[in-house]
Amino acid sequence: MPFKFEKLEVWHEAMDIGEEVDKLTVSFPQKELYNLSSQMRRAADSVALNIAEGSSAASDAEQVRFLNIAIRSCNEVVCCLHKAKRRGYLADDSFHQLYATLDKLCARLQAFRNKLRSAM
């Protein structure tokens, strides 16, 4: 029997983004290994982790709290993406592709959160 979060499309999307960010940061310079690379990977993984943790919440209000954290982590990945682009670690097409994916996921997370809020 699958866990509740495994049925959520936003969780699957967040998992895919985490893998995409992991592959992307491999090409960053060694000096970023414990800085931007690590921060970006941890923030990307945090999105899926908070969706999963929130899905087992005892109430909608608690799940909303975890979705808010997931949204903030999504925003953090976007900020890291901008930093990587400014530092010359990303080509424009890689930046825009991941940016669009993150924008879509953030919008879906906000819609999910708002749906839960309206039911409270």
Q: How many beta carbons lie within 10 A of that of residue 2, not counting itself? A: 6
pTM value surpassing 0.85: yes
How many helices (H) and strands (E) the chain has is answered by 4, 0
Q: Are 66 and 50 in contact (CB under 8 A)?
A: yes
Q: What share of the chain is helix, strand, coil (3-state, %, to 5)?
A: 80, 0, 20
- Domain of 107, CATH number, reads 1.20.1440.60
| Percent of the chain residues topping a pLDDT of 70 | 100
Average pLDDT over residues 4-13: 97
Q: What is the CA radius of gyration of the chain?
A: 15
The string of pLDDT tens digits covering residues 9-46 is: 999 999 999 999 999 999 999 999 999 999 999 999 99
Task: Look at residue 108 in the predicted model and tell me its pLDDT.
Answer: 98
Looking at per-residue pLDDT, the higher value among 58 and 42 belongs to 42
Angle (deg, nearest 10), helices 9-25 and 92-119 = 150
- Domain extent at residue 85: 4-119
Q: How many domains does the chain have?
A: 1
